[in-house]
Structure 1
Amino acid sequence: MLELADVDGFYGRSRALQSLTMRVGNGDFFSVLGRNGVGKTTLLRTILGLMTRTTGSIRLDGEELIAKPTHERSRAGVGYVPQGRGILPNFTVRENLMIGTFASKASDGRIAEWVLDLFPILKEFMHRRGGNLSGGQQQQLAIARALLSEPKIMLLDEPTEGIQPNIVEQIEDVLIDLNRKRGLTIILVEQNLRFARRASQHFAILNRGSVAVGGPIDKLSDDLIHQHLVV
């Protein structure tokens, strides 16, 4: 599905990813873990083409993305839910959702009903401005917007951060169902180890912009957590 080989990602002249190599299989739920500042968000931004410069190879279903701009990567099937959600606060829920359809090759401009069924509160608030939603509701909107692009792979940057517990559980369940029942490939950056262990099939721990260790999620031992994740 997604293969990164010897990828370097740069902010200006500063190299933030260093010879990073990683493979995510079709239908995988893959968690990217690590302490703050090790390159987790940078990895997602690199996949989406949001860095100053990127070298190496990034292939999605065999298609090389490294030279493509962000909008072409999105249309190739990369969906993204950024840290902080990226909701347009002065746009209504409907208008925010419509933006997601623009990246879909097959969209007829309609908001797919099955996406709204995942988050019923969005139906109720279709004409409310995004900035007037709670944090949890904004996160649901961000996920729904990304799904409307009909992605092959979804990148999520700490989707449970700063959200009330009852909505966290709902978001976790939706993401797991999207992966298990709809076969959506997911890359999750997450500090919530309980969620990562519950949802993931595979993991990678980053350190200094490269993969320090990874493998099947049952190999994420307490020793590895203490070595690489505990502050």
Structure 2
Amino acid sequence: MLELSDVDGFYGRSRALQSVSLTVGEGEFLSVLGRNGVGKTTLLRTILGLMSRCTGSIRLDGAEINHLATHKRARAGLGYVPQGRGILPNFTVRENLLLGTFAAQKPARSIPGHVFDLFPVLKDFLGRRGGDLSGGQQQQLAIARALLSEPKILLLDEPTEGIQPNIVEQIEDVLIDLNRKHGLTIILVEQNINFARRASDRFAILNRGSVAVSDGIGALSDDLIHSHLVV
């Protein structure tokens, strides 16, 4: 479904992503791992067209998208939950959710009920400002908003970071169900190795802007973790 071939991503003149080649099949769950500062967020930003410049090939469903603006990539099927959640704090929960529908093929005038099945708390807080929610509630809002764009692939940047443990478990279960029961393709940047092992089909470890290791999740050994992930 998504194929990167020899992709470089640049911040200004600085090359932050180097010759990355990855393939993510339809319905797969890929976890992107690595120490801080190795290029994990940069990889997601490159896929989304948020870098200063990007070279190489990025293909979605066989079509080249590297020349497309970010909003057109969203319309093509890329959903994104950024690190820090990226909700609009002065917009209500309802308004934040409706923004997510703008990237769908047929923007909705109302909020589809299935997001409240996934995150019931949002239904109770529709009139509350996003900035007044707890961190865990904001993360649920950010994921729900991304899902309302009807993505083919959902990209998430550390969605469990800094969130209370009971909400972390809820978010993990929702993402696993979306992948396994509904076939949603997911690319997850995550520091939680236990979550990655439980949820993923495959993993990729980045180091200095390049793919150091990519394999099935069963190959994510303790030796690899100590070599590439432990600080």
TM-score of the two chains, using structure 1 as the length reference: 0.99
Say which is worse superposed, 38-47 or 98-107, in terms of deviation: 98-107
Q: Is the 2:98–2:108 contact (alpha carbons within 8 Å) kept by the matching residues of 1?
A: no
Partner of 2:144: 144
Distance 1:76 1:110 in 2: 22
- Residue 30 of structure 2 aligns with an amino acid whose one-letter code is F
Deviation at residue 111 of structure 1 after TM alignment: 1.1
Give the Cα separation in 2 of the matches to 1:77 and 1:110.
20
Query: In the alignment, what sits opposite 2:76?
Result: 76
Q: 1:115-168: CA deviations, max 9, x gaps? A: 121000000000000000000000000000000000000000000000000000
Following superposition, the deviation at residue 13 of structure 1 comes to 0.3
Q: How far off is 1:75 after superposition?
A: 0.1
Q: Does 1:86 align with 2:86?
A: yes
Does structure 2 conserve the Cα–Cα contact (< 8 Å) formed by 1:102 and 1:109?
Answer: no
Kindly state the Cα deviation for residue 63 of structure 1 after the two structures are TM-superposed.
1.2
Q: Are the aligned partners of 1:41 and 1:189 in contact in 2 as well (CA < 8 Å)?
A: yes
Asked if residue 190 in structure 1 is aligned to residue 184 in structure 2, the reply is no
1:114 match: 114
Q: Distance in 2 between matches of 1:59 and 1:192?
A: 28
Runs of 4+ in 1 over 3 A off after TM superposition: none
Aligned to 1:23, the other structure's residue is in SS state strand
What SS does the aligned partner of 1:163 have?
coil
Q: Which residue of 2 aligns with 1:58?
A: 58
How many residues are paired up? 231
Paired position in structure 2 for 1:130: 130
Aligned to 2:10: 10
- Kept after mapping to 2: 8 A contact 1:5/1:57: yes
Residue 110 (structure 1) shift: 2.3
Residue in 2 that maps onto 1:105: 105
Deviation digits for residues 183-223 of structure 1 (CA, Å, limit 9, x no counterpart): 00000000000000000000000011110001100000011
Matched, 1:34 2:34: yes
1:112 Cα shift? Answer: 1.1
- Partners of 2:228 and 2:166 lie apart in 1 by 29
Q: Which runs of 5+ in 1 are unaligned?
A: none
Secondary structure, aligned partner of 2:83: coil
Aligned equivalents of 2:55 and 2:88: distance in 1?
31
User: Which residue in the other structure is 1:222 paired with?
Assistant: 222
Q: CA RMSD in A?
A: 0.6
SS in 2 for 1:182: coil
For 1:200 and 1:188, the matched residues in 2 are separated by 9
- Answer yes or no: is the 8 Å Cα contact 2:102–2:108 preserved in 1: no
Cα distance in 2, alignment partners of residues 203 and 178 from structure 1: 18
Corresponding position of 1:168: 168
CA distance in 1, matches of 2:108, 2:203: 36
Contact 1:9 1:16 in 2 (8 A): yes
2:59 matched to 1:46?
Answer: no
Report the Cα distance in structure 1 between the residues aligned to 2:65 and 2:222, rounded to whole angstroms: 36
Q: What is the rounded CA distance, in whole Å, between the counterparts of 1:107 and 1:128 in structure 2? A: 22
2:44–2:155 contact (8 Å) kept in structure 1: yes
TM-score normalised over the length of structure 2: 0.99
